[in-house]
Structure 1
Amino acid sequence: MHQSTILKRKIFSGIIIFLVFYFTNTNAQNAHSTSQLQLPTQEYKVKFTWLGDTVNAKWEPYSALLIPVRLPGCPKQLYMQFDLGAPHSLFYKNTLRAIRAKYFNSVPVIDTSSKVHDMVFLLGNQKVLAKEIGLKDFGDTAISRDSKGITVIGTLGVDLIDNKTAIIDYPGKQLMISNEIPGMLKSRVPLSPFMYIQGSILLPALIRGKQSLLYFDTGSSAFELLTSKEICNALAMPNTSPVSYPVKSWGKTLTANTVATADSLILASHKLPIKFATYIEGASDTQIQQMMKMGIGGMTGNKLFLNTILVLDTRNKKFGVVSK
């Protein structure tokens, strides 16, 4: 797969490892430090687009949620993936170097610690200043002048919405970020508390009458619900066999098993249908048991919310879902 597609195939076993480490290791370093982004203080909206890719030999139109960005002096439309599974925004080093080679003044000097300083970019039509931002050794080593090609230059993480309200209008393909929930929307959306810990979002969910927590990640679009085999079997339609296929996670090849379901789950008093649920074979039983004991039932991403507006108020740790 071409690097610019940036489909983050986050696999359940990796999420288990992450969550167990994150929430049980009391000596872990706080991953949610002060943001180095100077963001607009006023409410703003930006349209987003979807990037498609092939998953398990099938075309997946919602592989990645991309936000349009521009760099000064660079005429090409660029994009960053909106990824609330990442605590911090970052740029892809290889791509920035390729842009700097063609448009020298668009990208500051990349220092020896793989960071850039005082980098300006436009998020939609809003100016953002990255006083300091990290680089990942990733991305395309050359960029095309072809206006039809999509060039992804980095990731917009949780620091984009920290202490703010994010309103993700999936049907309208629009992200709004404000200091509070607009009054007209607030009257329509029943709000519920969620867990916001070190830049991670955990949404309380009711799955088949049982309370659970779902790790929410907009960087993961390929699956509606990644969960345990037990929950998948309970959700599966009668006489349905799982579709199995290999997936890569942390250097290992695991097996994803997806079952069709006509069931649903409840988030913030809103009933959301589930068409498919997936479990992964190859994860450690110990890790799964630790996760289940913490009440974490799995992970969800964009696909569950495609017909809704999702409201995330990180300042007050409240969220809501409304159909559009």
Structure 2
Amino acid sequence: MQPNTSKIKQYFFITCLAILFYAGSGFAQQIKGVPGNHLQLPTKAFNISFRWLGDTVHSKWEPYTAILLPVKLRNCPKTFYLQFDLGHPSTILYKNKMKAIAARYPKAVKLGDSASLHHFAFRLGNANLVATEISVQQFDTTGINWSNQHSMEIIGTAGADLIDGNAVAIDYPARKIRIAPSFTEKITQGISFSKFIYARRSVLFPAQVNGKQTMLYFDTGSSMYELLTDKKTAEQMAVPGAPVQSSQVRSWDKFITARTIEVNATISLAGQSIPIHAATYMEGMSSAQMEGMVKMGIGGMTGNKLFLQYRLLLDTRNSKFALIPSVKNVHPRRIASAKQK
């Protein structure tokens, strides 16, 4: 039995909302710096073929609720998965899953009473990685379904430390991610890059939402949302007479209501104009929190769903990005494998 990824994601989702909504009130200045990056990546480019995880949302099947990255552990034959979530600054492991793996394959995981593992080696895609320190956190009590060799067991979250200081190509149509120290000159020639804000391992894209200039927080863990914004903006873009669909999102000790409505709008960024069909706003946040977000020029959050027909190039070292329609066939394998300078 695999973990309820919707519940796991809600924890990170609300954390992101808190950062966004309190940004104008000075709360963000009180947030401590992100943890150190303890991931040791290869010095050359490596590839990851990912899988989509689907789930039922608003009584309908949503095939793009999460990106899963295949991971292998030493001395364990089974393939596990990490959820790719740039909304979380650091890669973490789920304690309940680690306990189950350690019980069956003690040489794969040496799990004690500590809240972290040290010098943890694993294989991600076609590369060997080492985490000199990685947090182990408890989210639920589910174990590993060993009887089903095809079960997709999610044992942790791959956070923004995976792309920190690197050049990353997310090829959504081909379901591939390529990570390298830098882009080649070949890929930069003829492609127009735009600047974005990269701070505390968070990605903020400059964008126009229905012609209005703003900033959008990018979170690969929020796959199901084309646009998460404030109520006023969502209602302004709404299709006349469109029904509002509601769902509950847990925020610590209370529930917040997510309202999703059909819209007829576009988001323009990196020289591309992308139509969107739904916008979501949250009820339960105070008006002061929403005003703080607006004052900071943050118009909302977007996830993978917006880019399903694109290749997204992110250079976190130089804070620039490009968005390439799939028909142009610019493949992420053109990323350099040169060492970091």
CA deviation after TM superposition for structure 1 residue 28, in Å: 2.8
The number of aligned residues is 321
Relative to structure 1, the CA distance from residue 247 to residue 20 in structure 2 (aligned partners, 3 Å threshold; closer, same or farther) is closer
In the alignment, which residue of structure 1 is the partner of 2:32?
29
Cα deviation, residue 16, structure 1: 3.6
CA positional deviation for 1:3: 4.9
| Cα distance in 1 between the residues matched to 2:241 and 2:187 | 42
Q: Distance in 2 between matches of 1:13 and 1:92?
A: 19
CA distance in 2 between partners of 1:190 and 1:42 (Å): 24
Q: Is the 8 Å Cα contact of residues 195 and 320 (structure 2) preserved in structure 1?
A: yes
Query: How far off its partner does 1:281 sit?
Result: 1.7
1:248 counterpart residue number = 250
| 2:272 matches 1:273 | no
Kindly tell me: are residues 70 and 14 of structure 1, through their superposed partners in 2, closer, same or farther at Cα, counting changes over 3 Å?
A: closer
Q: Identity, % of aligned pairs?
A: 42
| Structure 1 stretches lacking a partner, 5+ long | none
Q: Name the SS for the 1:29 alignment partner.
A: coil
Q: What's the TM-score, normalizing by structure 2?
A: 0.89
Cα distance, 1:241–1:55 mapped onto 2, change above 3 Å:
closer
* Structure 1 residue 279: Cα displacement: 1.1
AA in 1 matched with 2:5: I
The SS at the match of 2:242 is coil
Paired letter, 1:246: Q
Residues 89, 252 of structure 1: alpha-carbon distance in 2 compared, 3 angstrom cutoff: same
The counterpart of 2:236, out of the listed 229, 234, 237, is 234
How far is 1:231 from its partner? 1.0
Q: Which residue in 2 is equivalent to 1:199?
A: 201
Separation of aligned partners in 2, 1:58 and 1:137:
29
Partners of 2:124 and 2:12 in 1: how far apart? Answer: 29
* Aligned residue number for residue 116 of structure 2: 115
Matching of residue 80 in structure 1 with residue 49 in structure 2 = no
List gaps (5 residues or longer) in structure 2. Answer: 327-341
Secondary structure at the counterpart of residue 127 of structure 1: strand
Q: Is the 8 A contact 2:13 2:87 kept in 1?
A: no
Conserved? CA contact 1:56–1:245, under 8 Å: yes
**Residue 286 of structure 2 is aligned to residue 287 of structure 1:** no
SS at match of 1:290: helix
User: Which amino acid in 1 is paired with 2:134?
Assistant: I
Once the two structures are TM-superposed, the CA of residue 93 in structure 1 deviates from its matched residue by 0.8
CA distance in 2, matches of 1:11, 1:41: 30
TM-superposed CA distance for 1:17, in Å, is: 1.9
- Are the equivalent residues in 1 in contact too, given 2:87–2:159 (CA < 8 A)? yes
8 Å Cα contact 2:2/2:153 also seen in 1: no
Distance in 1 (CA, whole Å) between partners of 2:259 and 2:37 is 38
TM-score between both structures, scaled by the size of structure 1: 0.93
8 A Cα contact 1:13 1:283, kept in partner: no
Q: Is the 8 A contact 1:16 1:288 kept in 2?
A: no
1:305 matched to 2:304? The reply is no
User: 1:70 corresponds to which letter in structure 2?
Assistant: K
The reply on whether 1:6 has 2:5 as its aligned counterpart is yes
After superposition, the C-alpha distances for 1:98-149 in whole angstroms (9 at most, x for unaligned) are: 001000100123343x111111100012111111111111255421221111
Q: In the aligned structure 2, how far is the partner of 1:75 from the partner of 1:183?
A: 39
Which AA in structure 2 matches 1:49? R
2:12 and 2:87 in contact (8 A); partners too: no
Moved more, 18-27 or 176-185: 18-27
**1:108 touches 1:119 (CA, 8 Å); kept in 2?**
no
Instruction: Tell me the SS of whatever aligns to 2:103.
Output: helix
Equivalent residue letter for 1:316: N
Tell me how far 1:15 sits from its aligned partner: 3.6
